[in-house]
Structure formats: structure tokens, C-alpha cells
Structure 1
Amino acid sequence: MSPQLLRFADWTAPVTAVEREVLHALPESPSDESPPVLFVPGLGHGAWAFAEHWLGHTASRGFAAHAVSPRADGSLRAYVHDVVQVAASLPRQAVLVGHGAGALVVSHALARYPARAAVLASPVPAGWAAVGAALRANPLGTLPALFGAAPRLSRKQLFSAGLAEGEAYQERLVRAPARVYRQVLFAKPAAEPVGAPPTLVVGSPDDRVVPRAALDRAAARFGGAPLLFPGMGHDLMLDTDWREPIDAILDWLGKELAS
């Protein structure tokens, strides 16, 4: 199956061009064999959330690392478009790593871009499963999204109790347009990925945003089980033990590239 970088809707109602924020971290000794890694943050977050730790650490492991911020006034379709376009602009076939709602964006981008591999971190489920999971995990924060407002996430839901920078990180979060949250909650399941790239699901059994059952379902779609990191909050890339999941992701990626 060949990728469809542009689809009918892109011709008839093209996504508005914007200047995208893309942050980079490059290894000291670039390799022609290692694919670039493109990180995709979830709603409320920006590329900065990966630049704090994961971008530099990924570069130190020999991979060119990039992170793209969601556009300020966009849509789920526009976010997918931006990820596909940024990935296609990289010099080699990229690995896509999405977090939270960014994992949903990545899952849709995989139907249009032939990724070398993919990682879904703390993936927010789509459709009615997302609504039920969100209401169970975060009823007070989710209800506003069902009535036209943006949901609310607390510090306790995003980070473990021991993270000293939790409050500062939470203050950096921004509210995406409420319609985007509704689009995420009621999104249709993504089409099958182009080329069936190896896909890893990672998360925490203690995540107060995405329940364990949702992690299991996401991993089962790709024929595996989730890689779990107990004691961590939803924001794996910012939490106290941020090094554990990214090292596990890069170890897995190294094995996939060698196979």
C-alpha cells in the first residue's frame, strides 16, 4: 500500500499553511543508519515538553531528534497534516513518537506516512471508548469538554507526587481550542498504518488520564502488550523518572533496526 500524503479533502479544502515550531537536537556524531525521531506532544503541551529531557537524551544515543508543536488554532486534521509534512521533510524515514492525544495524531499520520517505526506513549483512546475512559479517570475535568469547553487536568493527573517541577510545568500548559478536544474524544479509529511499521505502546499503570485497559487495547491492535512504568504519571517525558521510558524506547528501537 502506498502512502497518501495528500487526500481529497486536502485538495478541496486544504489545511491553512502556518509557520510550524519544530525543535531539534542533533547527535555529535550523526549516523547515516539511524533514523530521525519525531516527537509529537499532546494537547496543551508543546515541543518544549520533549526538549526538557527526551530530545537531548535521544540525540546522546545517536538519533537526530525533532519535536513539533501543535498549531495554536488548529484541528485534529491540521495536526495530522503538520506531522506528516514535518516527517516527510526529514532526510530519512522517521520514527514517530506521540504522547497523549499526540499518540492519536501519530496513529492517523501512520496511515499517510510510511514511518520506520512508531511509539504511542500514554495514548489517549479514540471514540466512545475515549469518552468513557475520560469520564471514569477524570469526570470533573472531562465534563466541560462535552459541553463546549476545554477539559481540565490537575497536577496529580499529569505527574507523580515527587516531581518538584510539576507546578512549573503545569503553568506552561496551554488550552487548545475546545473543538479540538471534542474532535479527539469523538475521533474515528485510524486507518491501518502504511507498511505496517513496528509499533510500541508505553505508559504507566498509575496514569490518572489513560486507564490501564486503554493501554492494553492500544497495544493489542499491534499484536503486543504495553511496556509499563509503575509510579509515573501521564507525562512520562517530564516526570521524575523520565529517563526510564525513553531509554526503553530507544533500546526497543535499536533492536527493531537490527532485526
Structure 2
Amino acid sequence: MTTPIPVYFIHGLWLHSASWQPWVDLFREEGYDPSAPAWPGDPDTVAEARENPESIADHGIDDVVEHYAALIAELPAPPVLIGHSFGGMIAQKLLGQDRAAAAVAIDAAQIKGVLPLPLSALRATLPVFRNPANKRRAVSLTAEQFRFAFGNAISEEESDALYEQWTIPAPGKPLYEAAAANFNPHSPAKVATDNSGRGPLLLISGGKDHTVPETVTRATLKQYRHSDAVTDIIGFPDRGHSLTIDSGWREVADTVLTWLGRQNLGAAR
């Protein structure tokens, strides 16, 4: 009997790991062995996370990478990593370290070397950057801030519902680290983009994403120009940063499943 391919879903800032549950259920139905481990310090539930923001605070990119690397080391085989936003950056770093069979980075946060910094991205992250002390804190979004950063391509009603269901405080530290990446030769946002021996990578962009605009994802693709490994990009022109959790999530998930099949990483049935 073939052992199912393990899949780890990695969330980004402001969303609880439980927001991946529909994806976990779908991938399990498709024959994978999926799970969505939380970031270090994240409580088990959304309610607990909102009540205990101090447990989430002050975790940086390297902390998160090392956390997932330790989990991966316990698996029977290298997993497929599917990350959203900062989770997409984490997935790319782990893939570059040869810890994964493949990675899918959905609206992934900027890695070192990516230069575009659209105004909408600055506005989306302003709740963190307005106060330098937030580097060591966990910061929450208001429903209005969430609509701009995540829910601008869906109805206000759906955005508000997603906000109530899934949002948690987020550590400010990763945003500060990413913002300084191009000025720091040892930045934790640096990815081994020239690794030609790694597994395949799929970058996914949302054409209406305010937080990670399409220009950022296309600039990320260019960072991989010195690698011979498979690096693909797929765009969803009418989608925003909520594309993994809103009512259109299944279209994105099915696209990922199809791509994995093309990489000979389809689930055994």
C-alpha cells in the first residue's frame, strides 16, 4: 500500500491555522495526508489566540522556519508545503533548504531581492508600522482594516464574516524583518532561489490583492531565474488576499491539486 504524501498548510499573519480546515478536508478526500500546524506560540483556537496575544508576539521568520523544519523532520517523507502570505515565504525558504517535495506559495510575502513596494501593501501593513514598538508585539486588525488587506474583492458582508471567524493577532516582527530585507545581507527573508536541485514551486497571485499585489509575485518569480528547477506562476485576476478562505477557495485548491498531479505528486487512490 502506498503511503500518502504528507501536506502541510502554513498560514500567514492574522489568520488562525484552523482557517485551512476546508483545504485539509479536501486534500484528505483526495488521498493526501494533510495537516495545518500552527505557528510557534499560536493557541489552539481563535478565541484563545485573541485572549492571549502575548503568546503570539515576538516570533520572527527564523523562529517559524525552525518550528516547521522540526515538524518536517518527524515526517516519513518530505511534504508538499502550501503557504499563504507569510506562510508562502516560509514554504519557499523550506523548499530552498530541500526540506519539501514541492511548495505552493499563495500571495506570498516579499522575499529578499523583491523590490516593488506598492502603496496598497504599505497601507495594508500600516497597523503594524505605525508604532515601532509593534516589532515586539502582536497586533490585531479592525474589521475595516481586514476588508482593505484581505476582503476587498468580496462583499463587505463576507469579509466581516471571515474576520469574525478566523482573524487573530499577528506578530509584528516578520513584517519588520521583511521590510529591512534588502538592507540586511543576512536577512531571514532570504530564500535560496538559485537552488536547481529543489522540488517544484508554484507561485499564485491574486490580481486584486492589496497586501501582496501581483507585481510582487511576478518580481518574486524573477528571483528564481538562476534555478533550473520547475517554477510556475498562476494568476487569479479577480481575487484578493482572502482567496484561500473566501467562497472561491475551492477554485484555488483545485488548481493546486491539478498542478501537483502534473508534478507527479498526485495522491495515490
Output the TM-score relative to the length of structure 1. Answer: 0.77
CA contact (8 A) 1:204 1:232 kept: yes
Change (3 A) 1:222 1:252: farther
Change (3 A) 1:194 1:37: farther
**Residue of structure 2 equivalent to 1:89:** 74
The alpha-carbon deviation at position 144 of structure 1 amounts to 4.7
Decide which of 162, 166, 169 is 1:169's aligned counterpart. Answer: 162
Alignment pair present for 1:106 and 2:88: no
Structure 1 residue identity aligned to 2:220: A
Structure 1 residue identity aligned to 2:197: G
The alpha-carbon deviation at position 220 of structure 1 amounts to 3.4
CA contact (8 A) 1:118 1:198 kept: yes
Q: Secondary structure at the match of 2:36?
A: strand
Q: Secondary structure at the match of 2:247?
A: coil
CA contact (8 A) 1:98 1:120 kept: yes
CA contact (8 A) 1:87 1:94 kept: yes
How many Å separate the matches in 1 of 2:264 and 2:125? 39
Describe how 1:55-204 pairs up with structure 2 within 5 A.
Answer: 55-71=24-40, 72-73=56-57, 74-127=59-112, 129=114, 133=117, 136-146=119-129, 147-148=131-132, 149=134, 150=139, 152=141, 153-159=145-151, 160-162=153-155, 164-171=157-164, 172-187=166-181, 188=187, 189-192=190-193, 193=195, 195-204=197-206
How many Å separate the matches in 2 of 1:163 and 1:62? 35
Structure 2: runs of 5+ lacking an equivalent: 41-55, 182-186, 226-230
Structure 2 residue identity aligned to 1:198: P
Q: CA RMSD in A?
A: 2.6
CA contact (8 A) 2:149 2:211 kept: yes
How many Å separate the matches in 1 of 2:216 and 2:90? 16
The alpha-carbon deviation at position 128 of structure 1 amounts to 7.5
Structure 2 residue identity aligned to 1:44: W
Alignment pair present for 1:228 and 2:228: no
Q: Deviations over 1:78-123 (max 9, x none)?
A: 1001111112222222011111011111222223343111111101
Structure 1: runs of 5+ lacking an equivalent: 1-30
Change (3 A) 1:163 1:59: farther
CA contact (8 A) 2:114 2:220 kept: no
The alpha-carbon deviation at position 167 of structure 1 amounts to 1.2
Q: Secondary structure at the match of 2:105?
A: strand
Structure 1 residue identity aligned to 2:255: A
How many Å separate the matches in 1 of 2:156 and 2:248? 9
Alignment pair present for 1:240 and 2:247: yes
**Residue of structure 2 equivalent to 1:27:** none
The alpha-carbon deviation at position 33 of structure 1 amounts to 5.1
Change (3 A) 1:255 1:197: same
Change (3 A) 1:140 1:119: closer
Q: Deviations over 1:161-190 (max 9, x none)?
A: 247542132233222232232123324321
Q: Secondary structure at the match of 2:246?
A: coil
Change (3 A) 1:213 1:225: farther
Identity rate, percent: 23
How many Å separate the matches in 1 of 2:73 and 2:31? 20
CA contact (8 A) 1:36 1:93 kept: yes
